[in-house]
Amino acid sequence: MELTEKFEFDPPDNKIEYSIKHKDIPLQLSDELREAIYYLLWYVPNIKSEQSQHNELLLNPRYDDFIFIELMKKMKLKDEDVLFTDEISDELIKPFLDKICTKCPKIIMTLANGETKTMALLRHIRNAIAHGNFNVIDNILVGFDLQRYEETTEYRGFFKINPSNLLKALRNILFDFNSQKFITKAFQQNGYYIASFQEKYEKSHEFELFAKKNDKKYAIDIKNYDYEKVVDKNFIKELLDQYEELMDGITPLLIINTSYLDEESKEELLDHEVIILDVKNIKKMMAGRDMVSEIERARKIKNSFE
């Protein structure tokens, strides 16, 4: 599945009339929806809540489409059910204001500058819930993130999602999508034993993870830093100094946004037998392709000709 602009409106024959106003006060919530609301208001990452934790992975645009597509699968959304747009016009939102198909989940959302799709999803649903612009119609959660002015209403987001599927997506965000868990899963998909590095060895440089496959061992260093420019030579030198402290037989494996490395830095790392992976490699590993083995094989072939 991929994200395109093949958005489709609800089939006209399957629509029912509804109101965003709550008929019963207070609104009766299922256990699943109540739990989802708790997560949205207080616990999801990167929000202004004392209970929220920072999650770099969800803010990283290079992982954005991959993560959002995984969440779409949890919410049983297809490509034609999702639209991200610069603005939500009257023509776009009007078909959903009074009648909807309760069997057809949909998301229409705007993105703020630099915002990932996952964080936009959380923001729009949180805003709708917090301001009461939602209702439950035939067991589907319907909501609008909007701003009312004197004579107009600006729509910023619309969603209708099965609460059970929304909860699955929120649990996925809270418990599965952080850098270490994401990378751990990618390596496990390819038959690696993987554990916290600190549990195995104590060194001055704290590698995040230890990986082993057959007789090969790796120390995984995850760099999530958001650099404003290409890293300098001192950074590379410090890395190599730290990597030299590794025990014999353990290969350093650096996971970094490779756009922050110039060719000279890459060559220096490769000359010191450092394996470099970026987000594209991790995505391939999530699909079951062992990029570490491929890189090592390519390196071995190259060395045989030198």
- pLDDT 10s digits, 159-174: 999 999 999 999 988 8
Domain 179-304 coded CATH 3.40.1350.10 = yes
The share of the chain scoring above pLDDT 70, in percent, equals: 94
- pLDDT score of 291 more than 50: yes
Domain ranges of the chain: 15-176, 179-304
**What is the predicted pLDDT for the residue at 203?**
47
Can you tell me the distance from the alpha carbon of 141 to that of 163, in angstroms, rounded to the nearest whole number? 6
**What is the predicted pLDDT for the residue at 2?**
63
- pLDDT 10s digits, 174-205: 887 777 888 998 999 999 999 988 644 454 45
Per the structure block, which two tokens stand in for 201? 């060895």
pLDDT band at 1 (very low <50, low <70, confident <90, very high): low
- pLDDT score of 235 more than 50: yes
User: Greater confidence, 6 or 19?
Assistant: 19
Question: Whole-prediction pTM value?
Answer: 0.74
**What is the predicted pLDDT for the residue at 204?**
41
For residues 96 and 8, is the Cβ–Cβ distance under 8 A?
no
Per the structure block, which two tokens stand in for 219? 């120390």
- pLDDT score of 259 more than 90: no
Tell me the average pLDDT of the chain.
89
**What is the predicted pLDDT for the residue at 75?**
96
Distance from the first to the final alpha carbon of the chain? 42
Q: Who's near 227: CB < 8 A, 6+ residues apart?
A: 257, 260
Radius of gyration (C-alpha) of the chain in whole angstroms = 23
- pLDDT score of 22 more than 50: yes
Residue 296 CB: number of other CB atoms within 10 A? 15
